[in-house]
Chain A
Amino acid sequence: MNSKTQMKVMVLAVAGAFGAPLHAAEGAVFTGEATAKLYSFDYFKGAGTNSTQFLERYNYQQGMGGDQRGGSYLDLDLSIVGRNAQRNVFELERQGFGAHNHRGTVKANSDTLGFSGYYTNFRSATGGLSFRYNPNAVAGGTDPTYVNANSGYVALFNNDSPGQTLYKIDRTTYGLGLALKPLLFGNSLAAAINYDGYKRDGNRFASYVTGGGDITGAITTRWRGFDLPIDERMNRYTVSLNGAPGGFNLGYEGSIEKFDNKARNFGMADFASATFLLSAGGRTRPLHFVPDSTLVSNNFRFAKNYGSTAVAAGYGLSILEADSFAQIQQTNGYNTGKITTNSAYLNVTSNAVAGVGLEGFVKYNNRDNDSTFPAVGLLNAAANQQLGVRIDKIRSLNYGISATFRPTALKSTVTAGWKREDKDRNLTWSTAAAGGSIQPQRSLYKDNTVSDELYVNWIARPMPGVILRVIPSYVWANETGMVTEPEKAFNLKTKLSYAAANGMLVSGYYNHKENKNANNAFFNNIAASVATTSITQDLDKTQEAAGISLNLPVSEWINTHASLSWMQDDFASYYLSSDRRRFEPGVGNATTLNFLTRDRSTYKIDTYVLNLGGDWQVSDELRWNGGYTWSRSKGNVASGLVLSELPTIDGTISSAVHSLNLGVDYQLKKNVKLKASYVYDYNKDDSYAALTGGYHTLMMGVGFGF
């Protein structure tokens, strides 16, 4: 179905659908409010005369004249509710925060039918905080001393779209839903049909490097970038059926999701004639190819209570297939891209034993890679310098049991449990001669993961309004398949809150998460005849967070809130190097690759967030509100040798964002409300001054009620 046809279907369906609920809404009372708003905004400082970079990533504004730096624009909020004695039979809401940030929803309901629709639009600047489109202009971004024939990659950056500095992407989402309620089927069945889609278009800067053999020009032309258009469509159609025959809850959900990449596909040859020369191999290279794809999912769910025992189960099958292929893939016979995922779960909970709640679960997931393999010339385990590792299958089994008690002490609920993850990977490593391919001994990616976890979840209500949560857990793994998986982990989540009768709410939390994995080793030699030496990667990652929060109603008319949060990321791992790339033969020994521990680098960043705010209902007509948020991140992303090499803008994080907002509503007449707000944002970056910039905006609006 092409896009025009889809649009016609949508328009007709909406037109058809609207009539019914509106008919059902006969006799309903409609109320609403339309608020016309005038915004004036101004960006100051920033990366350049036309960009504030950081702030525009999250708040892209544009005036009526098209000016991004400052201007004015009109917007409209709309809210309509139709209500009868039973329900809201009709709801329509539209909110706008500028030409590139707005959304709307519509709902209509009767006893038997429900209709819903939505859209959102959000634009984000995508120029990149690290100025990847112009690393030559960044201190340390390029290094002219890279001149060797086997390096030279970062001696110079070559921008093939030098005139383009504006990068932005719009994401527009939309959807329709039709719910056929149980009353329509005698309370035996419920059904829903949903359509969801999005359009994503704009551009981003894409970089790449050519291979050493792909280029015949000067070595400083290898590292390149260009303006890559984005033009994507996603359309998903979902059917849901739910029924409860004979006390069984049964559910089915099936969906077809089509993703289309409509943007022009680029290849290296697109830029060859202008700036550099390519070998024959280089001319066939696609750049950032994104395939069209289709995902078909079928999920079945089941739930049933047997006395005090409840059973929940489900099975899902999803198949993701590529619908388009790059020219080089087609040339080499790569014509199937297919990932099949089977998943299932079974969960049993029981209160059969007095005073104890028991639970057991099993969850299974199997990911099969059914894509073309081998594709000689592209993807071939038997050829030198080809595939390092191909994931054929990942099969995981998670299972566990837990018991819940309710001791009277502190009115507690305590759950103690154990669970295990068992993951098995079928991997194909290159079978090319040793020294000509990445061998499993030279990778930290492994076949198996087996880990156990013990946990306790304690919730106490020692006095009215007080809730204490303490959730410690400990993980230990016999095998880990990836560095990021914990060999040992200790997690602790705690929260204490108190809600007073007068509406005051005070809470505090502390979270601690510590992962270690020393179960990683490279081996210099892969031949059994040669003495092997190993080099170990040892990972240690700790995340801590703490915060306090207070919501305090000072009076019936004044509410205030304050919160302070602290987060710390502390990470350490080795910086390892090798004399050649892992698939290349070593020096003087065809099977040896020499690794070296260069340094142990630590990463430690502290972030603080302070939030203050409140609202004041001065009178029936007048309400003030305001807030201030300050967030500060500071620390080094590396230490020692790595930090000494990094430019300050990349090695050190030192930034703060201030955000101040004030709002006022005034009920001028029964059906007329005046609104105004002022927002001030200021991003200060001490490491990279170009990212410092500010924004302020003033909104004045008039709301008309009806």
Chain B
Amino acid sequence: MRRLAVLLAVILGGALHAGAWAAAPMAAKAAPIKGDQCVECHKTEAKTSHAFHGECNSCHVNAGDHAKAHEAREKAKGPNKPPKVVATKPESADCLACHESDKRRMHFAIAEHNKAGVQCRDCHGNHTPKVKALNAGMEKGGKTTALCATCHQDVLAKFSMTSHHPVKEGGATCTGCHDPHASKQATLGAATAQCTSCHQAMRGPHAFEHPPAAEDCKNCHDPHGTPNKKLLTAAQPMQCLQCHSVAGNRHGQGGLVNNTQRITGAVLRDCASCHGTIHGSSADQHLRF
């Protein structure tokens, strides 16, 4: 096994080195910014464009017309200057012309963001990042979370509820659960896979399954935040009582066989305190241990 590990590391390292050597001449060929005419005015943008975006008109498809019009206006004298031509911003289709084969974007056409009219440029600042600086209160959350929060204010508010995933605190991120390029219509795998990709201990397989937990975690939990403990959509006991009747036997104060005896708060306050393996059990049909 040790030999295998060393071999794997050597191959990996070797491949990387080989790739770097192969890459070097190509890197030398590529010119940083070819749109010299653009740079005359857009000095800041020229300095901050990213890889392979040196050709201004590869994204701003009418940049040539924009430049010509600008030049004509500069030369023109008198009141009858030719009209301005505003350089277009890249549409998602322009970006996807290069990025569609990327595994995360090959279905962007049917992604929720695309359907909602969100363009690539709305999140990705090719010249400068969309979120430049964070206030002290959002430092732990990070820039990606801050970016998502600019639109999803209703979700951001949930992260201030009593029980929430620690996103603002730096323990989780929006993109840790959500792929902003993906489509719900194109998900593969188990319905619970998204949650159990971090919470594997809950996934079993369990000999005794709790059906709502086996079907969809959201049957009981709201992952963003709730006023209740454990991210429950409703507090116990009503969370459980919506599906389950409570038997007098074992749950009633006297343990008698009738359904009118008193069942006190000690039983009602926390069903999972006794039914502790609520997501599934290895040995108990009542999910108690």
Interface residues of A in 121-179 (CB under 8 A from B): 122, 124, 128-130, 132, 135, 140-143, 145-146, 148-154, 171, 178
For the complex, what is the distance from the CA of A84 to the CA of B26, rounded to whole Å? Answer: 13
Q: Check if A240 is an interface residue, CB within 8 A of chain B.
A: yes
Task: Select which of B106, B189, B282 is within 8 A of A291 by beta carbon.
Answer: B282
Residue of A nearest to B22 (CB): A112
List the one stretch of B36-44, B66-74, B75-83, B229-237 in contact with chain A.
B229-237
B85 within 8 A of A: no
**What's the Cα separation between A623 and B136 when bound, in Å?**
12
**Interface flag for B247 (CB, 8 Å):** yes
A605 within 8 A of B: yes
Q: Does B257 contact A (CB under 8 A)?
A: yes
Query: Given A21-B16, A151-B254, A627-B136, do A190 and B101 touch, yes or no (CB 8 Å)?
Result: yes
In chain A between 61 and 110, which residues have their CB closer than 8 angstroms to a CB of chain B? 84-88, 95, 97, 101, 103, 109-110
The CA-CA distance from A342 to B162 in the complex, in Å, is 37
Quick check: A341 and B260 within 8 Å, CB to CB? no
Q: Is A577 interfacial (CB 8 A cutoff)?
A: yes
B274 at interface, CB cutoff 8 A: yes
Residues in A whose Cβ lies below 8 Å from that of B153: 507, 509, 547, 549, 563, 565
Assess the A605–B227 pair: CB atoms within 8 A: yes
Shortest beta-carbon distance from A595 to chain B in Å? 6
A526 close to chain B: CB less than 8 A = no
Classify chain A: how many residues form its interface, as a range: 35 or more
A320 interface residue (CB < 8 Å to B) = yes
Closest partner residue, chain A, to B173 (CB atom)? A120
Instruction: A20 to B23: give the CA distance in the assembly, Å.
Output: 10
- Whether A577 and B269, one on each chain, are in contact in the complex, defined by CB atoms closer than 8 angstroms, is no
Say how far B88's CB is from chain A's closest CB, in angstroms. Answer: 15
Pair A253/B103 contact, Cβ less than 8 Å: yes
Partner of A103, one of B170, B246, B269: B170
A647–B227 CB distance below 8 A: no
A479 at the interface (CB under 8 A from B): no
Judge if B203 is at the interface, Cβ distance under 8 Å. Answer: yes
| CB-CB contacts below 8 Å: B50-70 with A | 50-52, 54
User: Quick one: given A511-B154, A577-B263, A625-B135, are A482 and B243 in contact (CB under 8 Å)?
Assistant: yes
Once bound together, how far apart are the Cα atoms of A313 and B281, in whole Å? 36
A contact residues around B156 at 8 Å (CB): 565
CA–CA, A365 and B185, complex, Å: 11
B284 CB → nearest A CB, Å? 7
The reply to whether B170 and A84 form a contact with Cβ atoms under 8 Å apart is no
Compute how far the CA of A261 lies from the CA of B201 in the bound complex, rounded to whole angstroms. 8
For the complex, what is the distance from the CA of A607 to the CA of B185, rounded to whole Å?
32
Interface pair B241/A326, CB less than 8 Å apart: no
A314 to B188, CA, bound (A): 8
Q: Contact check, B117 vs A579: say whether CB atoms are below 8 A apart.
A: no
Cβ of B175 < 8 Å from any Cβ of A? no
Cβ-neighbour of A110 out of B27, B233, B251, B268 (below 8 A): B27
Cβ proximity bits B266-281 to A, threshold 8 Å, 1 near / 0 not: 1111100110110001
Residue in B209, B255, B269 with the greatest tally of chain A CB atoms within 10 Å: B269
Chain B interface residue count, CB cutoff 8 Å, equals 134
In the assembly, what is the distance between CA of A154 and CA of B243, in Å? 22
* Contact (A285, B289) CB under 8 Å given A101-B170, A345-B186: yes
1/0 per residue, CB under 8 A from B, across A583-599: the answer is: 01001000000111000
Q: Which residues of B lie under 8 Å from residue A359 when comparing CB positions?
A: 110
Q: A101 near B12 (CB under 8 angstroms)? A: no
Task: Give A635 to B273 CA distance when docked, in angstroms.
Answer: 23
A207-B273 Cα distance, complex, nearest whole Å: 6
A232 to B212, CA, bound (A): 25
Q: Mark A16-37, 1 if CB is under 8 A from B, else 0.
A: 1101110110100000000000
* A469 in the interface (beta carbon within 8 A): yes
Q: Which of B234, B243, B259 contacts A578 (CB 8 A)?
A: B259
Q: Which residues of B contact A569 (CB under 8 A)?
A: 226-227, 233-234
Cα separation A268 to B283 with both chains bound (whole Å): 12
* A242, CB-defined interface residue at 8 Å: yes
Interface residue? A338 (CB, 8 A): yes
Check B189 against A582 for contact (C-beta < 8 Å): no
B133 touching A615 by the CB < 8 A rule? yes
Check A578–B245 contact: CB distance below 8 A: yes
A223 surroundings in chain B (CB, below 8 A): 273-274
B259: chain A residues at CB < 8 Å are: 577-579, 594-596
A95 CA to B139 CA, complexed, in Å: 9
- 9-residue interface stretch from A44-52, A272-280, A650-658: A650-658
| B51–A109 CB distance below 8 A | yes
Contact A318 B235 (CB under 8 A): no
Interface set, chain A 369-424, CB cutoff 8 A to B: 369, 371-372, 375, 378-379, 385-391, 394, 413, 415
A621 within 8 A of B: no
Q: For A249, what are the chain B residues with a Cβ–Cβ distance below 8 Å? A: 100-101, 106
Q: Please, which residues of chain B bring their CB within 8 A of the CB of A595?
A: 245, 259
Tell me if A363 and B185 are in contact (CB < 8 A): yes
**B229: which of A129, A483, A638 is its contact (CB, 8 Å)?**
A129
Expressed in whole angstroms, the Cα–Cα distance for A51 and B264 within the complex equals: 30
Query: Given that A15-B13, A21-B20, A483-B242 are contacting pairs, would A153 and B274 also be in contact in the complex, using a CB cutoff of 8 Å?
Result: yes
Interface residues of B in 130-180 (CB under 8 A from A): 133, 135-140, 153-154, 156-158, 160-162, 166, 169-171
Check B84 for interface membership: any CB of A closer than 8 A: no
Complex: A206 Cα to B272 Cα, angstroms: 10
Residue-wise, chain B 207-237 has the 8 Å CB interface mask toward A (1 for contact) of 1110110110001100000111100011111
What 8 new A-B contacts, CB under 8 Å, besides A140-B269, A318-B193, A578-B245?
A148-B256, A208-B274, A208-B288, A210-B289, A365-B190, A413-B117, A545-B154, A623-B133
Sample (11) of A-B pairs whose CB atoms are under 8 Å apart = A17-B16, A19-B17, A58-B166, A150-B249, A259-B201, A290-B201, A413-B117, A563-B153, A633-B227, A645-B265, A663-B136
